[in-house]
């Protein structure tokens, strides 16, 4: 299994989660849908924690993960969303060792 998983946690400025989510939908949803390198992608919110969003992504391999970060869609998203975040995201790279197909 050469897949790479990435767990990203963004902390938004107070009350800005819906703004961040709208920006994500505008830029990232279509980019992820069109990206063959993504095997899975989950954009998640915790109803009990109002100023956090998480994304869990599974890429075909490390090269696909790195390539996605160079796309115009990702750069545009990052530029637009940054003012609504408290700081850089927490990013964990994981190696899947089992999955249900």
Which tens digit of pLDDT belongs to each residue from 22-39? 999 999 999 999 999 999
The pLDDT score that the predictor gives to residue 1 is 62
Percent of the chain with pLDDT over 90: 96
Residue 82 pLDDT greater than 70, yes or no: yes
For 22, residues 6+ apart whose C-beta sits below 8 A from its C-beta are: none
Residue 101 pLDDT greater than 90, yes or no: no
Listed by start position, the domains of the chain span 4-94
- pLDDT band at residue 45 under the 50/70/90 scheme: very high
Mean pLDDT over 36-63 rounds to 96
- pLDDT band at residue 13 under the 50/70/90 scheme: very high
Mean pLDDT over 73-89 rounds to 97
Helix (H, G, I), strand (E, B) or coil at 55: strand
The torsion defined by the Cα of 58, 63, 65 and 68, in degrees rounded to 10, comes to -130
Which numeric CATH code is attached to 4-94?
Answer: 3.30.70.100
């Amino acid at each position: 299994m050469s897949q790479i998983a990435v767990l990203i946690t963004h902390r938004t400025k107070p009350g800005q989660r819906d703004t961040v989510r709208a920006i994500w939908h505008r830029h990232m949803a279509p980019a992820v849908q069109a990206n063959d390198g993504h095997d899975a992608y989950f954009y998640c919110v915790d109803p009990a924690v109002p100023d956090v969003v998480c994304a869990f992504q599974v890429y075909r391999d490390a090269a696909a993960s790195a390539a996605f970060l160079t796309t115009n869609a990702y750069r545009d998203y990052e530029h637009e969303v940054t003012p609504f975040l408290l700081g850089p995201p927490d990013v964990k790279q994981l190696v899947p060792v089992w999955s249900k197909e």
